[in-house]
Amino acid sequence: MGTVFHVSRIGPQGATAAVPLLARTVEIDDPGPLLALLPREQQLAWIHRGDGLVAWGRAAEYTFAGPGRFTDASTRWREITRHSVVRDEVGLPGSGLIAFGTFAFADDGVDSRLIVPQTIVGRRDGRAWVTTIGTALGATPLITATDAPELPRVIRFADGTVSRDAWKQTVAEAVRRISVGGISKVVLARDLVAHLAAPLDVRSPLGRLAVDYPGCWTFHVDGFFGSTPEMLVRLERGLVTSRVLAGTIRRTGDDTHDLALAGSLARSSKDREEHEYAVRSVADALAPHCTSMNVPESPYVLHLPNVMHLATDVTGVIRHETSVLHLAASLHPSAAVGGTPTSAALRLIDDLEQLDRGRYAGPVGWIDASGDGEWGIALRSAQVEEGPDGAQVRLYAGCGIVADSVPADELAEADAKLVPVRTALGG
């Protein structure tokens, strides 16, 4: 048990206030579906196959910006945990003092943050717990299901920053630039805007995503939500894991045909090339941190309800004590969301994409007091925004472009990647 530390809470105008941070975790009976526990306001979520973490309230919040955002966040969190008082009676990954977070994709992004909630409910390996965090700790709160979420009322979906035709032209220009040389792969994103009749109750799409995509990590942090199939980095008791996805084909719904498509994906030279770039970038980034690594020679095909991906799980044993945020800094952006070589691909994205990605394709997840945690790549995601109709939601998708990419095919792939959130909104 550490000493009490006066934590700086960042307010909306950047003001700070001294806040003593105390945390206590106790085991509870299984509370049932975790997402059903969330209130409408100030909720956070990280769910995979029904287990994970849900939380609400704000004990503290920290914002970061610029190229040093990961390092700054890791340093701040280390200071907080070093001096906080934590009583953890469960001792599982996700219990004890936790912060949820999202990070901007780009170095000039301003919307990176860590949020320490007031109440966290977790479940893993058949055990459930509740963590309370604040300036003083009273009785363990009663954990029960809340009111049913309101269904989204979408007025219409519309093109975002650029039209469909303009985006195909952008892809064609990227292919031309790649053919000139200097870049092997670039990832281009596009957006779609859902106009709603009323502000979104995000619990509704979260519930739909968790049911439809149980093998993905369904998340919500600060108005940013989605269900990602890609784990940027998991650090758990010295073992690091990163799941790489690159190379995609849309499913048809016919199992026999989909099996044939999976075989063609596994044999596709274009998709294998794209995948190899992504795996190499992750392995190279993790190697300095590991005493040993396992990088499979060939990918497997990951089957999701709407698409199939080439996938590789890279694992390693950490060389020295570190933070999952420090590893995330080394890994982001991987070739799966930026391109190869990274610096040239990012310059091409800035030149062609015409889109502020915000937190799309940036890391999203959680970190515990030991520095362990899980951070996915924020794919299949959307940002809740204010809009003239009461609210709007901006959906994102991206595709890896290589020398033989076909613009119409890439647009179809992007459409497929928009399906999860679009369907969760009722579209």
Residues 182, 107 within the same domain: no
Residues 70, 177 within the same domain: no
Residues 268, 343 within the same domain: yes
Of 25, 42, 212, 197, give the one whose Cα is nearest residue 128.
25
Domain of residue 41 covers: 6-134
- Known catalytic residue: 413? no
Residues 239, 278 within the same domain: yes
Segment 218-266, tens digit of pLDDT: 999 999 999 999 999 999 999 999 999 988 998 988 989 999 999 999 9
Q: Answer with the one of 104, 134, 164 that is the final residue of a domain.
A: 134
Give the per-residue pLDDT at 6. 34
Segment 13-55, tens digit of pLDDT: 333 334 568 999 999 999 999 999 999 999 999 999 999 999 9
Q: What are the phi and psi torsion angles at 135 (to 5°)? A: -80, -25
pTM of the model: 0.92
Which of 168, 185, 274, 417 does the annotation list as catalytic?
A: 185
Give the per-residue pLDDT at 60. 94
Residue type, 375: W
**Residue 163 within any structural domain of the chain:** yes
Q: Answer with the one of 101, 134, 167 that is the final residue of a domain.
A: 134
Q: Which residues of 325-338 are buried (b: 16+ CB within 10 A; e: fewer)?
A: bbbbbbbbbbbbbb
**Total count of residues recorded for the chain:** 427
**Residue 337 within any structural domain of the chain:** yes
**Residue 142 within any structural domain of the chain:** no
**Residue 42 within any structural domain of the chain:** yes
Which of 168, 230, 274, 417 does the annotation list as catalytic?
A: 230
Give the per-residue pLDDT at 11. 37
Q: Answer with the one of 86, 104, 134 that is the final residue of a domain.
A: 134
Give the per-residue pLDDT at 19. 59
Residues 41, 130 within the same domain: yes
Residues 105, 174 within the same domain: no
User: What ranges make up the beta strands (E) of 11-153?
Assistant: 16-20, 22-28, 43-48, 51-56, 60-64, 85-88, 98-102, 112-116, 119-124, 127-134
CATH number for the domain that contains residue 372: 3.60.120.10
Give the per-residue pLDDT at 21. 87
The token pair at 400 is: 């890896």
**Residue 332 within any structural domain of the chain:** yes
**Residue 146 within any structural domain of the chain:** no
How many whole angstroms separate alpha carbon 340 and alpha carbon 346? 9
Residues of the chain with pLDDT under 50: 1-18
**Residue 166 within any structural domain of the chain:** yes
Residues 390, 269 within the same domain: yes
The reply to whether omega before 341 is within 30° of 0 (cis) is yes
Domains contained in the chain, number: 2
Segment 296-316, tens digit of pLDDT: 999 999 999 889 999 999 999
Give the per-residue pLDDT at 336. 87
Of 145, 156, 5, give the one whose Cα is nearest residue 82.
5
User: What ranges make up the beta strands (E) of 341-419?
Assistant: 363-368, 373-377, 381-385, 391-401
Residues 126, 184 within the same domain: no
Residues 266, 303 within the same domain: yes
**Residue 145 within any structural domain of the chain:** no
Residues 312, 368 within the same domain: yes
Residues 115, 172 within the same domain: no
| Residue pair 47/34 in contact by the 8 Å Cβ criterion | yes
Residues 129, 158 within the same domain: no
- Known catalytic residue: 230? yes
